[in-house]
Amino acid sequence: MSSIILHITSHELWNQAKVAGEYRADSLASEGFMHCSKPDQLAGVVSRYYQGQTGLIVLQINPELVEPPIRWENPPGKNEQFPHIYGPLNLNAVVEVLPLDEIVPG
């Protein structure tokens, strides 16, 4: 199995996804893809983009089950590839949902 990839979101968006039958991050509409990371990249992502936010969750995603394309890309100014999902995420690809603060303490 490929390594798990991670996506940070809110309880509200995840609950909407369970009703809709698919998950769509806001970035899918604004950027054309959803941002993800490898487990060893998560702490850096949190410190850069989610500092001080509370109540967030992490979707643990099995990339082998993801239906839309996943592309590994370097963000501008970074010499490190991150996984990006180019379409709505099918819920069966999410293998676990955990509170962010249990993975990356505040």
pLDDT tens across 30-43, in order?
Answer: 999 999 999 999 99
Reading phi first (left if > 0) and then psi (alpha if -120 to 50, else beta), residue 12 is in alpha
Contact call for residues 66 and 3 (beta carbons, < 8 A): no
pLDDT of residue 1: 42
- Which backbone phi and psi does 23 adopt, to 5 degrees? -105, 135
Tens digit of each residue's pLDDT (9 = 90 or more) over 49-67: 998 898 999 999 999 999 9
Task: Decide: 11 and 55 in contact? Cβ < 8 Å.
Answer: yes
Query: Domains of the chain, with CATH numbers?
Result: 5-103 (3.20.170.20)
Residue 92, phi then psi, degrees to nearest 5 = -70, -10
